[in-house]
A and B are shown apart, each in its own frame.
Chain A
Amino acid sequence: MDAVEKANIERQKRWTKDQKVGEGTYAVVYRGREVGVGRKIAIKKIKVGQFKDGLDMSAIREVKYLRELKHRNVIELLDVFSSKTNLNLVLEFLDSDLEMIIKDRSLVFLPADIKSWMAMTFRGLEFCHRNHVLHRDLKPNNLLIAADGQLKIADFGLARDFADPGYKMTCQVITRWYRPPELLFGSRYYGSAVDVWSVGCIFAELMLRTPYLPGDSDMDQLKTIFRALGTPTEEEWPGHTKLPNYVPVGQFLKAPLRDLFTAASADALNLLTRCLIYEPRKRISARDALNHPYFFALPYPTHPSKLPKCAKQVASRPLEEVDGNVEKDSTGPGVHAKNGKLKRKLSSPLDDSKGRTIARRLDFTKQMVT
């Protein structure tokens, strides 16, 4: 047998598949363990045989970027192996995601909790951007939460390298509610600012406990954005009326964010505002966001281990469709909602049942943003 095939079999033997935890058209997700170590892992088995063009782009992107990106706030790809006509991605096992936490009405978020999730999101994102990778599908259910509370950016099925200036990219990326206006107007030249807009929407959602800008269609998405943030003027966003898919969607006045985010600190609102600046070149970068006063002001971010956790994550929530294909031309809600899900929403019984007490001391020792 060829050495390469032998090596592949050796890799395969390192991991066990214990239980199927989800299935879609193109992929099956198993919970498993590392043999001999016992560490919990997830195996995403992609049925490559179903793709006419061989390994599909979504799987290739995921493997390409996760092979390179090793960071505490990015999901870890532990191994890759093939079995017959399947491609298997071995990923670290993560119990829940930020969407579940946001939706869990039994949880109370303190401002310090939100700050902690935001810090971890920006750290992971800054690392991606530093490595010239655009994520292009940030949303709460792609931010997975580890047992120790660490947040990990997942699902790189739409990621790509920054293009050279003047090199066209597709504007059909990012789930609609988190998609920035430049993409909605059809801009084919863009950069890391698109991800920052998504993080801004997530930030708002953490404070509101409901999606901030939930448009019903691409057109309605623009309207929803403008209703919330005011219709951009030429001065605010020079040249936006020249974008390929520009359409006037009505004039809305800018309402003060304070009206909606009544409990937010001034620093928090300032950072939120800078994530949601219309002119992409003026939008704050992930790196600058990490240095924003918000992260240095009291209250300091909650230590990840003390963040609110989903108690219900053990309940057998149905797994979302686990899919591998990108629907390039679709414009439906969450264009890529079917794309490369890595959700592992089932988990072993939660041992961390202590929960947390409401009165907690502030943790000044860790989580200082540098």
Chain B
Amino acid sequence: MTSSPAPDGTAHDKPLYEASTQFRNWRYSPEQLTKIRKVLNVAAVTAIRHNFEVDEPGSSANVSFLDADEELLLVKLYISKITQLCALFRFPEEVEATAITYLKRFYLKNTVMDWHPKNVMYVLVTSPYRLTALFLATKTTNNPISIDEYTSRIPKTVPSDVLDLEFLVAQSLGFEFAVWHAHRALWGIWLDIQVRFLKNMFFNSLTIIKNYATDSTILSMSEYNLALNYVRASRLTDAEFIHTPSQVALAAFSLVAPDLALQWTVAKIPRDASHSGSSMSTLPLVLESIKSLIRTSGHPPDVESVREVDRRLRICKNPEKVPGTRAYMAKRAEEERIAEEKRARKIEEVQKATAGDPFGDELQNTGQLPGLVDYDDDDNDD
């Protein structure tokens, strides 16, 4: 939010990516990610434990809460569910990638143990937020479909299940809807490599020309598709929070065609010594770290391990968000009380304002005054 464009109002020498909200607000180190998730998890466990105790003293003792790693496992599961849904709807890659990013960002601000009351009653293994994240992504990527069509194809889902969570999801994203995707970067690299390949601009090494030029399958779409699969796998990892989209894309390409990726990199990095010195020394490390992320965690979670986590999630879901529990009633009562207070204050203000009016006094006593409140101006009433 505190971007400061150059004095002339432009930022010509700054890469466009660095002005994006993604660059400014959604980059983390692996340590930061671990810490954020840990803090979220501990806070949630503390709050939910408290709610259990309110509901029934001593009841939290038997609950084994999820830890941060187990939460992450579930998030991964939800991601793979988004992929399944996108296949069902035949949504474009952009929609799927965006929805996954939204869901991952969402779970850096929320925990899987906090459930929304409306959706807690069913589909336990799936996060209701994923449906909202996906629906929101169809709109932000300019691929909108109607909510009726959307929910009619998802079992046991009605429009309000999706729409009621839209604000919470959008808020969690900080209303930052634009996402820079690795698959776009990969497409760019792919196009660029073809141009360079055809122009024979960077193939100084005869062996590489021989290896690639004589093999007709090289630079066929299959190379690109293989790399794209690695980019897709990277969506199940934290790569996008740690690295730039082009780094992720290059790593994915490098997993398919390491020599070609290297040649392309060398050709792309400016010859200017000061520049290339740093980039060339750090890039291989960056690429290795992304490759290893993709190899080790770029796959959907094992069904058995999720089943166990899910079983425990059912027990430790936040009672404050489950209708019928005492904690739920207590929260509702508190909300009602606050709303009532606000209304009362408003009425009082109106009364004060009209106190000097000779026609005002009678009205006050008849209890008609709430009608004078400008409810349209009040965000706290319904």
Contacts and interface: CB of A to CB of B under 8 A. Distances in A.
B224 to A, nearest CB: 15
Contacts of A254: none
A20 to B, nearest CB: 7
A282 interface: no
A68 B171 contact: no
Interface band, chain B? 35 or more
A4 B142 contact: no
A145 to B, nearest CB: 15
Contacts of A65: 178
Contact of A73 (B9, B167, B176): B9
Contacts of A64: 140, 177-178
B196 interface: no
Nearest to B144: A57
B114 A60 contact: no
B19 A370 contact: no
The residue among A61, A82, A131 with the most chain B CB atoms within 10 A of its own CB is A82
Interface in B134-183: 135-136, 139-140, 142, 144, 146-148, 159, 162-163, 166-168, 170-172, 174-178
Contact of A79 (B1, B3, B9, B146): B1
Interface band, chain A? 35 or more
A127 interface: yes
Given A3-B109, A123-B9, A54 B166 contact: yes
A39 interface: no
B244 to A, nearest CB: 16
Contacts of A73: 9
Contact of A67 (B148, B176, B380): B176
A80 B377 contact: no
B21 interface: yes
A54 B166 CA distance: 7
A83 B9 contact: no
Main secondary structure of the interface of A (DSSP, over half): mixed
Given A55-B139, A71-B9, A4 B376 contact: no
A12 B171 CA distance: 12
Contact of A7 (B19, B144, B171): B171
B166 A55 contact: yes
Interface string A48-63: 1000111101001101
A305 to B, nearest CB: 15
Given A4-B172, A55-B166, A60 B9 contact: no
Contact of A52 (B146, B168, B175, B177): B146
Contacts of A48: 166-167
Contact of A55 (B110, B170, B379): B170
A86 B147 contact: no
A91 to B, nearest CB: 13
Contacts of A123: 9-10
A72 B166 contact: no
A131 B16 contact: yes
B21 A67 contact: yes
B16 A84 contact: no
Contact of B10 (A54, A71, A79, A161): A71
A28 interface: yes
A84 B382 contact: yes
Contacts of A57: 139, 142, 144
Contacts of B135: 54
B142 A160 contact: yes
Contacts of A67: 21, 175-178
A130 B19 CA distance: 12
A348 B376 CA distance: 23
Contacts of A61: 142
B171 A53 contact: no
A72 to B, nearest CB: 3
Nearest to A74: B9
Contact of B376 (A28, A72, A130): A28
Interface in A5-40: 5, 7-8, 12, 17, 20, 28
A259 interface: no
A70 B163 CA distance: 30
Nearest to A79: B1
A370 B163 contact: no
Interface string B94-111: 000000000000000110
Interface of B: 1, 3, 5, 8-10, 16, 19-21, 43, 109-110, 114, 135-136, 139-140, 142, 144, 146-148, 159, 162-163, 166-168, 170-172, 174-178, 376-377, 379-382
29 contacts: A5-B168, A52-B146, A53-B144, A54-B147, A54-B162, A54-B163, A54-B166, A55-B136, A55-B170, A60-B139, A60-B140, A61-B142, A64-B177, A67-B175, A67-B176, A67-B177, A68-B19, A68-B20, A68-B21, A68-B178, A70-B3, A70-B5, A72-B5, A73-B9, A82-B170, A123-B10, A127-B9, A127-B10, A131-B16
Interface of A: 2-5, 7-8, 12, 17, 20, 28, 48, 52-55, 57, 60-61, 63-65, 67-68, 70-73, 79-84, 86-87, 123, 127, 130-131, 160-161, 370
Given A3-B43, A52-B147, A55-B166, 8 more contacts: A5-B168, A53-B147, A53-B163, A55-B139, A60-B139, A60-B140, A68-B21, A83-B379
Listed from nearest, the 9 A-B pairs whose CB atoms lie closest are A72-B9, A83-B379, A80-B175, A64-B177, A54-B163, A82-B167, A70-B3, A53-B147, A54-B166
